[in-house]
Amino acid sequence: MALKIYNTLTRKKEDFKPLHEGHVGMYVCGPTVYGHSHIGHGKSYVSFDVIVRYLRYSKYTVEYVQNITDVGHLLGDTNEGEDRLLKQSRLEHKHPMEIAEFYTRSYFEDMDALGVVRPDISPRATGHIIEQIEIIKHLMEKGFAYEVNGSVYFDVSKDKEYGKLSGRSTEDAEAGTRVGVKTEKRHPNDFALWKFAEPEHIMRWPSPWGVGFPGWHIECSAMSMKYLGETFDIHGGGMDNQFPHHECEIAQSECATGKPFVRHWIHNNLVTVNGQKMSKSLGNFTLLKDLFKKHDPLVVRFFILQSHYHSTLDFTDEALEGASKGYEKLFNTVRNVRAELKRRNDEELPAGGMTIDIAGFKSQFLEAMNDDFNTPQAMAILFEVAREVNSELAEARLLPNQMKEIDEFFMELGGTILGIFPTQTDVRFGDDGSLEPGLVELIIDLRNEIRKQKLWTLSDQIRDGLQKLGIVLEDKKDTTTWKRA
């Protein structure tokens, strides 16, 4: 079954066909680094991470580029706006580059925790000023841009296709423009490619039009095309960037090269908090670092993937609690299979007798993923398998080779593709190479001797004591398992 992806450009689910067979060039708009990442970043980059992981699983070679915006762009295309990075640097009394560096590290820290695989290239906007100027020069030469007082603007009226992504005409946009705003632009929809720098503007570069800094949209065109070519396969980003950002990217890129810019546009939907829009201007955003204090980052990842990337996701305590319990249940199964496998690894038993159709479930899972990355559907499959496995496990009916097959199923689909299970040596598996597992197992053995003698008070005392240390014991039919709380 072929992979289908919803394409914002055509508003249809399409068969995915890369430009060059077996290879995918993918660009996703990265963060502007002037603050810690919030749950919106989490949803966005986890969603695209699964897309990259799945493409790679599907045997594509993926070149994944995600920019770091370290130029603080103006709030709007007029001169009265304020540079966000500069504002933050003033607040923190640090050089803008130090601000950018600090929050870039913070960003990667949070993404690492969420299990997001790092992009192949994380280009910085400030490192590609020359490339940006080159595109602007082309646009000037071709008559798509004009200069006013040291700033350069894209002339929207010259681009007949402007509006094809967002589906809005320039007339529509004009009707919604506030009146009374003074501008040096010829048309309200024209956007800045290069801005003249006032003396107090710290981040500044020389250009053919004087000292200034690049406009907001041009960096993505410059960096994506530099690393992926003038036409590439997938461009992703948040729905809020569909207009004007991506519309402008298309305009300036296609007018500069005369070639189609992007084949598939993928937009992930936004996050709400308790039913309300989360935005910087409303100031109600939840930082990932704060959320991680209450929930395991992998639970957050699980929660995100439990809804489709194209749907809005409402962060409420109740929903997150539910996700946490669900994750615990699923992961318990994975952990128990692993533990049981380890315990009985040496047994030589005849194969066969497997009543769980692992191959069938696997193809159902892949079918869900092929249908525009339907992760909620895919995760439902994992739960169905877990239920059957738990059943068999409780009756001790599984043989080591069968458990191995189940373990591989979970690690491949839940681990490699969805990234919701940690790697095998993770502390969550109680197997991180420390002394602890051996000690706990020794205590369990001793306690089971005590239980044979029916010394319940003492055995409960041991269990409670371990509980306080964060070790949870579970007495099963003929064995006792443990996990970290």
- Is 44 near RNA (CB under 7 A)? yes
CB 209 within 8 A of CB 149: no
Q: Select 92 or 383, whichever has its Cβ closest to RNA.
A: 383
**Nearest approach, Cβ of residue 239 and RNA (Å):** 6
- Of 276, 355, 424, 434, the residue at the interface with RNA (CB under 7 A) is 276
- Of 61, 157, 311, 345, the residue at the interface with RNA (CB under 7 A) is 311
Phi-psi region of 293 (alpha: psi -120 to 50; beta: other; left: phi over 0): alpha
For residue 349, give the DSSP letter. Answer: -
Q: Select 1 or 175, whichever has its Cβ closest to RNA.
A: 175
Q: What values do phi and psi take at 311, rounded to 5?
A: -100, 155
- Of 3, 25, 32, 256, the residue at the interface with RNA (CB under 7 A) is 32
Q: Select 139 or 393, whichever has its Cβ closest to RNA.
A: 393
Q: Select 355 or 391, whichever has its Cβ closest to RNA.
A: 391
460: CB partners within 8 A, 6+ apart: none
Touching RNA, residues 68-107 (CB under 7 A): 69, 73, 75-77, 81, 84
Touching RNA, residues 344-373 (CB under 7 A): 371
**Nearest approach, Cβ of residue 104 and RNA (Å):** 12
The DSSP element (H or E) to which 461 belongs, if any, is: helix 456-468
**Nearest approach, Cβ of residue 35 and RNA (Å):** 8
What character string, x for contact with RNA (CB under 7 A) and - otherwise, covers 210-229?
A: ------x-------------
- Of 30, 115, 214, 297, the residue at the interface with RNA (CB under 7 A) is 30
Q: Select 40 or 430, whichever has its Cβ closest to RNA.
A: 40
- Is 376 near RNA (CB under 7 A)? yes
- Is 172 near RNA (CB under 7 A)? yes
- Of 117, 319, 341, 411, the residue at the interface with RNA (CB under 7 A) is 319
Tokens of 250: 């298309």
**What is the C-alpha separation between 420 and 413, in angstroms, rounded?**
9
The 3-state DSSP class for residue 60 equals coil
CB 460 within 8 A of CB 453: no
Sign of the torsion angle spanned by Cα atoms 366, 371, 374, 380: negative
Nearest to 351 by CA among 389, 411, 405: 405
Touching RNA, residues 423-452 (CB under 7 A): 451
Residues in contact with RNA, counted by CB under 7 A, come to a total of: 91
Angle between helices 375-394 and 358-370 (to 10 degrees): 170
**Nearest approach, Cβ of residue 20 and RNA (Å):** 26
Amino acid in position 81: G
The stretch among 94-102, 108-116, 118-126, 471-479 that binds RNA (CB under 7 A) is: 471-479
Tokens of 124: 């910085």
- Of 15, 21, 200, 318, the residue at the interface with RNA (CB under 7 A) is 318
The stretch among 256-264, 293-301, 342-350, 469-477 that binds RNA (CB under 7 A) is: 469-477
**Is the omega angle on the peptide bond into residue 244 within 30 degrees of 0, that is, cis?**
yes
CB 183 within 8 A of CB 78: yes
Touching RNA, residues 278-297 (CB under 7 A): 278-281, 285
78: CB partners within 8 A, 6+ apart: 181, 182, 183
- Of 101, 147, 184, 314, the residue at the interface with RNA (CB under 7 A) is 314
* Strand 262-268, strand 271-273: pairing: unpaired
Q: Select 206 or 456, whichever has its Cβ closest to RNA.
A: 456
- Is 387 near RNA (CB under 7 A)? yes
CA angle in degrees (0–180, nearest 5) for 101-106-112: 125
Strand partners, 152: 147, 194
The DSSP element (H or E) to which 63 belongs, if any, is: strand 61-66
**Nearest approach, Cβ of residue 463 and RNA (Å):** 7
- Of 158, 380, 411, 416, the residue at the interface with RNA (CB under 7 A) is 380
C-alpha distances (whole Å) from 429 to each of 95, 301, 463 are 43, 18, 19
The stretch among 53-61, 97-105, 205-213, 307-315 that binds RNA (CB under 7 A) is: 307-315
Q: Select 176 or 350, whichever has its Cβ closest to RNA.
A: 176
Strand partners, 13: 6
Touching RNA, residues 113-152 (CB under 7 A): none
CB 374 within 8 A of CB 368: yes
